[in-house]
Amino acid sequence: MADPMRIRAQLKGDTTEVRVLMAHVMETGQRKDAAGATIPAHYIQNVSATHNGKSVLSAYFGPAVSQNPVMNFSFKGGAKGDKVVITWTDNKGDKRTDETAIA
């Protein structure tokens, strides 16, 4: 399983701003190793975010996204202490879910 995501959710007025750092190799499948063999593709495909069980973000990534991607987004309706849950799934079926409370 991948390293935990670093998630920061802060309330600014009536908007919650979220910043997520996802630890992932994000291998394109086009590079070669030292022996000349192609390194298999391994990248995040789907990212979703929920606030109190309600979907606030759905994103689709591809192999062109950099290693350890950072994503920022915002939504309305959050309150201090509410939970924000981020989940990603990659092309090999690996999945990671982490959560944070809105500060």
Instruction: Determine the pLDDT at residue 32.
Output: 96
> What tokens appear for 13 in the block?
């007025």
Three-state secondary structure of 55-93: EEEEEECCCCCCCCCEEEEEEECCCCCCEEEEEEEECCC
Q: What is the pTM of this model?
A: 0.92
Instruction: Determine the pLDDT at residue 1.
Output: 56
Domain ranges of the chain: 6-101
Q: Residue 85: how many CB atoms within 10 A of its CB? A: 16
Positions of the chain with pLDDT under 50: none
| Architecture of the 6-101 domain | Sandwich (2.60)
Give the closest residue to 82 by CA, choosing from 36, 51, 45.
Answer: 51
Instruction: Determine the pLDDT at residue 96.
Output: 97
